[in-house]
Structure 1
Amino acid sequence: MSVVYDCSDPQERAAGMRAAVGAARGGRLVVMPTDTLYGIGCDAFDSEAVASLLEAKHRGRDMPVPVLVGSWQTIDGLVQRVSPEARELVQSFWPGGLSLVVEQAPSLAWDLGDADGTVMLRMPLHPVAVELLREVGPMAVSSANVSGGQPSATLAQARDQLGDSVAVYLDGGPADHAVASTIVDLTGESPLVLREGAVSLDEVAEVLDMTPDELRLPQPESE
């Protein structure tokens, strides 16, 4: 049986935060608001909870779960090397709607799916999400919808799709932007934008001192 907490009420938010922290630490799933869309999350280091998250979304291991963090500094312990490009993007857009695909630290004991030694990281710009992340630590968080379903801009949309597979729902009101994060891949020789979303291609290019065309994925040659 899942429980919904209205985070616009200070007392209910405090109770919801306690319940969400307890759920995450106990290997259960939580739905939280973020600055982009609602997310379904769990303790990133609990492989059974991550498996439950994938099952709740009807999603396979071939689509590994991203990780949300509650501070800039957290990235230093999660990646093999923080490149100058990563540092510039973190300082410019975190917290906010930019996700970074980086090579994870080899020592990390987590299983986020078939990620081939990489991880997608983001720090969200939402007080409820950040508070939860700072209490729990890094969380595996995916969009709060079943695979192929409409991403959830409201808690009701998330609950309609995920139901009682989630222990705690934190209601932060409608998502401010309801746009997915922009994804920048930093694992290759040069940064690439895999998805343009909340942060524009031009904004990323300006910070990296590149042109938008240099950041675009190569297009297959036409026959």
Structure 2
Amino acid sequence: MTGELLDVTGDGREDAVLRATEALRAGQLAVLPTDTAYGVAADAFNTRGTARIFGTRDQPRRTPLPVLVRSPKQLAGLTTVVPEAAERLVAAYWPGALTIVLFAEPNLRWDLGRNEGTVAVRMPLDDVALAVVRAVGPVAMTAASRCGETAPATAAAAREALGEAVEVYLDDGPRPAAAASTIVDLTRREPAVLRAGLLDADEVLAVARGELDPFAATMPPPDEDAVGPASTGASDVAAVPDEDGEDPLDDARPV
């Protein structure tokens, strides 16, 4: 059965998460909640699954897919080097509303699009998304909408946009789709903010440069009404397109 809409706010939560996990492991797609919008996900190492994201969204391969991880420790296996700037940013903002762009490990068997040797990574703070990532491993995710369209704030809106092209939709209530993560490129000589989002861009750069103690950084308060009683925060919002329809990660490549 495709296009299943499963409620994760009640007793069926564990079974629904298991169903999404099974779908991703089989090379299928699942829509997961985040604190900002709903995203369509695939196992990052299942090339059939990631190819389906591009096809389902009509997304050009020049716009690569971001990746969700369950722990900062996973960065070492996905990237060539974890610079001190990344360590400081992770200490300050993960899990949370920060996506960092690093040089990707070249020997990994994945296909995230034309990423020019880089990868955009985020650790989600949403407990539903985290449960799936813990079970599956790194997950590729972008907005659960057609490329260039507004990211959906509800699972129902995501299903209306993508229909039966996605096997499973996990419904955890509405999300504040206007929000977005802050994207920082650490592949350049100096850290650069590719998109200003929920975090203060100047503060993020100060942390990255070592000018501000990571533990002195501020985090935006969670929107409890939007996140819902069963969730604790954020997931991959780096995939939410800009208002003009351009995915900012298209520019997330080394200079």
Q: TM-score surpassing 0.5?
A: yes
The gaps in structure 1 that reach 5 residues or longer are 212-223
d(CA) in 2 for partners of 1:19, 1:167:
9
Which consecutive aligned stretches of 4+ in structure 1 deviate over 6 angstroms post-superposition? none
d(CA) in 1 for partners of 2:134, 2:176:
22
Contact residue 184 and residue 194 of structure 1 kept, 8 A: yes
- Deviation, 1:175, is 1.6
Contact residue 36 and residue 97 of structure 1 kept, 8 A: no
Give the SS at the match of 2:146.
coil
Identity in percent: 43
- Deviation, 1:44, is 0.3
| Alignment partner, residue 74 of structure 1 | 74
The answer to whether residue 149 in structure 2 is matched with residue 149 in structure 1 is yes
* Equivalent residue letter for 1:5: L
Give the SS at the match of 1:42.
strand
Measured against aligned partners, the alpha-carbon deviations of 1:91-117 in whole angstroms (never above 9, x if no partner) come to 111111110111011221111000111
The 10-residue stretch of structure 1 (188-197 or 156-165) with the greater mean CA deviation from structure 2: 156-165
Contact residue 70 and residue 123 of structure 2 kept, 8 A: yes
* Equivalent residue letter for 1:42: A
Contact residue 37 and residue 152 of structure 1 kept, 8 A: yes
- Deviation, 1:203, is 2.6
d(CA) in 2 for partners of 1:209, 1:45:
32
Contact residue 50 and residue 140 of structure 1 kept, 8 A: yes
* Equivalent residue letter for 2:173: G
| Alignment partner, residue 7 of structure 1 | 8
Give the SS at the match of 1:175.
coil
| Alignment partner, residue 246 of structure 2 | none
The gaps in structure 2 that reach 5 residues or longer are 212-255
Q: How do 1:161-200 and structure 2 match up within 5 A?
A: 161-175=161-175, 178-200=178-200
Contact residue 31 and residue 168 of structure 1 kept, 8 A: yes
Give the SS at the match of 2:12.
helix
The 10-residue stretch of structure 1 (79-88 or 150-159) with the greater mean CA deviation from structure 2: 150-159
Q: How do 1:49-128 and structure 2 match up within 5 A?
A: 49-128=49-128
- Deviation, 1:167, is 0.5
- Deviation, 1:26, is 0.3
Aligned residues: 210
The answer to whether residue 207 in structure 2 is matched with residue 204 in structure 1 is no
| Alignment partner, residue 235 of structure 2 | none
d(CA) in 1 for partners of 2:65, 2:209:
30
d(CA) in 2 for partners of 1:175, 1:124:
14
| Alignment partner, residue 26 of structure 1 | 26
Q: CA RMSD in A?
A: 1.4
Contact residue 45 and residue 109 of structure 2 kept, 8 A: yes
d(CA) in 2 for partners of 1:121, 1:22:
23
